[in-house]
């Protein structure tokens, strides 16, 4: 059989998603996620204008060949737009292959290596009391691992911290529309001060250990804001609180910067959510400068490329921590869960539950129970887009924030 249709949809059930639908000549439908937060239409165009027509008539079973055709074929390679487009095609073809075989995708990846997938959630609060309430709520739901982000005295709204309004901490969305809910015309701007952050955070971790004990897995995201020497000092300062990981302590593209951090602390390090190929990790993995790979399946060329990246990491004892915020669609989330279940070097899975509005449009089969996820037993990825429901949510521009230092300098975020 061959590919008969490749169609791209951009829908916004609560937030924007780019979804690729591939249909075979015998009517099997596969879905792929191509969502790139704040740059959605560029990937939709890449797929519609440059990829879709090249797929028609191809053998849908030749997944590796199609991946190489899309990566090596156009000459221009890598980058988040290209790799998200390739990821969507790859996911859809794996979805089709598993549906044709009548098995959940993880069975084609070697079968289950564990019974459930340990998930971590996002707890935040503008102050410690609100953060403690959020952590308590998640622990009561059964989470054994919590990413903690909190406001810093003297700074306003910062990335990763929801307001203290009831329910808000469970619906945190960093990509902002305009204040009236319409299309954003520019990102909001936030203000950052590393000295204030470094002075505040060790006390927060001390309080969490005091209030929640020694066993809770504590994760924290530095979001690329520290210089290498600042990150080395910070990782050393928080060593007594034994974090599960410190994420993105420095801007990710400067791989050798992590050498300095490694020389000064044993705080485990995670990085990679802005990476899109295995080459972004070459130094980090071969020199064992990180402990966890943070890439999203959606931004790293799909299941085919992510499996190779994680197998490469496994040789060096480095584990997975696949990116899973709400800007990964339920299709991309399902792809992560099938990989998580199958690989040996699984570490942990990020889990920000999608809103009820999103889940009315994407029908999922994966489950969450007492801190653990499972992709389910539905053949394929186990997610279907309700195209009729999706059509009623038009694309609405929303952007991730920009970060500036207190003197106005644009800063990493
Ligand atoms: Mg992150």
Q: Which residue has the tokens 């808000």?
A: 168
Which two structure tokens, joined as six digits, stand for 315? 């040789």
pLDDT reported for residue 156: 84
pLDDT reported for residue 165: 55
Give Cβ neighbours of residue 377 (< 8 Å, ≥ 6 apart).
104, 365
Residue 379 CA to ligand 1 center (angstroms) comes to 31
For the cut 70, the answer to whether the pLDDT of residue 275 exceeds it is yes
Percent of the chain at pLDDT > 90 equals: 94
pLDDT, one tens digit per residue, over 369-395 is 999 999 999 999 999 999 999 999 999
Res. 170 pLDDT band, cuts 50 70 90 = low
How many Å apart are CA 410 and CA 412, to the nearest integer? 7
CB-CB contact of 305 with 84 (8 Å): no
Tell which phi-psi region holds residue 154, choosing left (phi > 0), alpha (psi between -120 and 50) or beta. Answer: left
Residue 66 CA to ligand 1 center (angstroms) comes to 30
Residue 260 CA to ligand 1 center (angstroms) comes to 21
Residue 114 CA to ligand 1 center (angstroms) comes to 25
Residue 367 CA to ligand 1 center (angstroms) comes to 23
pLDDT, one tens digit per residue, over 329-349 is 999 999 999 999 999 999 999
Catalytic residue among 159, 172, 241, 281: 159
pLDDT reported for residue 168: 53
pLDDT reported for residue 169: 46
CB-CB contact of 149 with 174 (8 Å): no
pLDDT reported for residue 160: 79
Q: Which residue has the tokens 């085919």?
A: 304
Catalytic residue among 223, 323, 354, 374: 223
Per the prediction, the chain carries an average pLDDT of: 96
pLDDT, one tens digit per residue, over 283-309 is 999 999 999 999 999 999 999 999 999
Residue 235 CA to ligand 1 center (angstroms) comes to 16
Can you say how many angstroms the Cα of residue 334 is from the centroid of all Cα atoms in its chain?
12
pLDDT reported for residue 157: 82
Q: Write out the DSSP string of 16-79.
A: -EEEEEEEETT--EEEEE---TT-HHHHHHIIIIIIHHHHTTS-TT-HHHHHHHHHHTTS---S
Prediction pTM value: 0.97
For the cut 60, the answer to whether the pLDDT of residue 7 exceeds it is yes
pLDDT reported for residue 163: 63
pLDDT reported for residue 353: 94
How many Å apart are CA 413 and CA 378, to the nearest integer? 39
CB-CB contact of 20 with 6 (8 Å): yes
| 3-class secondary-structure state, position 368 | strand
How many Å apart are CA 183 and CA 164, to the nearest integer? 25
Q: What is the mean pLDDT of residues 252-264?
A: 96
Sign of the Cα pseudo-torsion (223, 295, 309, 269, in order): positive
CA distances (Å), origin 381, targets 64, 74, 89, 91, 95:
18, 28, 13, 8, 5
How many Å apart are CA 154 and CA 139, to the nearest integer? 29
Res. 171 pLDDT band, cuts 50 70 90 = low
For helices 302-315 and 80-101, the axis angle rounded to 10 degrees is 100
Q: What is the mean pLDDT of residues 110-139?
A: 96
What is the pairing mode between strands 145-150 and 217-221? parallel
For helices 228-237 and 257-264, the axis angle rounded to 10 degrees is 30
For the cut 70, the answer to whether the pLDDT of residue 164 exceeds it is no
pLDDT, one tens digit per residue, over 93-104 is 999 999 999 999
Tell which phi-psi region holds residue 336, choosing left (phi > 0), alpha (psi between -120 and 50) or beta. Answer: alpha
Annotation says 159 is catalytic: yes
For the cut 90, the answer to whether the pLDDT of residue 213 exceeds it is yes
- State the number of CA atoms in the 13 A half-sphere of 278 facing the CB: 15
Q: How many CB atoms lie within 10 A of CB 89?
A: 30
């Amino acid at each position: 059989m061959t590919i008969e249709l490749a169609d791209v949809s951009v829908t916004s059930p609560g937030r924007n998603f780019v979804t690729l639908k591939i249909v075979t000549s015998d009517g099997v439908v596969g879905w792929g996620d191509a969502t790139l937060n704040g740059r959605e239409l560029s990937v939709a165009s890449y797929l519609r204008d440059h990829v879709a027509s090249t797929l028609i008539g191809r053998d849908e079973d030749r997944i590796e060949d199609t991946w190489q055709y899309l990566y090596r074929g156009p000459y221009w390679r890598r980058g988040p737009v290209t790799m998200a487009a390739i990821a969507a095609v790859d996911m859809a073809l794996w979805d089709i292959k598993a549906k044709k075989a009548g098995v959940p995708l993880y069975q084609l990846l070697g079968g289950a290596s564990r019974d459930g997938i340990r998930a971590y959630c996002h707890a935040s609060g503008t102050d410690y009391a609100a953060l403690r309430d959020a952590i308590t709520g998640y622990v009561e739901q059964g989470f054994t691992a919590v990413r903690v982000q909190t406001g810093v005295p003297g700074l306003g709204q910062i990335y990763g911290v929801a307001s203290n309004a009831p329910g808000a901490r469970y619906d945190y969305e960093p990509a902002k529309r305009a204040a009236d809910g319409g299309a954003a015309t520019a990102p909001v701007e936030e203000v950052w001060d590393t000295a204030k952050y470094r002075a505040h955070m060790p006390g927060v971790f001390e309080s969490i250990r005091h209030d929640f004990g020694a066993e809770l897995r504590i994760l924290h995201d530095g979001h690329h804001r520290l210089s290498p020497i600042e990150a080395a000092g910070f990782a050393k300062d928080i060593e007594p609180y034994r974090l599960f990981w410190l994420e993105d302590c420095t801007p990710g593209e400067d791989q050798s910067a992590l050498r300095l951090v490694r020389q000064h602390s044993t705080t485990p390090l995670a990085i990679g959510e802005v990476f899109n190929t295995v080459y972004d990790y070459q130094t980090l993995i071969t020199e064992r400068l990180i402990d966890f790979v943070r890439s999203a399946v959606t931004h790293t060329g799909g299941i085919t490329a992510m499996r190779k990246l994680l197998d490469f990491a496994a040789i060096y004892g480095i584990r997975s921590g696949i990116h899973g915020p709400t800007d990964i669609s339920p299709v991309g989330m399902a792809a992560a869960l099938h990989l998580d279940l199958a690989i040996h070097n699984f570490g942990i899975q990020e889990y920000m539950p999608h809103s009820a509005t999103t889940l009315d449009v994407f029908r999922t089969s994966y489950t969450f129970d007492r801190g653990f996820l499972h992709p389910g037993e539905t053949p394929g990825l186990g997610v279907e887009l309700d195209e009729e429901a999706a059509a009623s949510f038009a694309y609405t521009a929303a952007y991730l924030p920009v970060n500036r230092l207190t003197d106005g300098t644009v800063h990493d975020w």
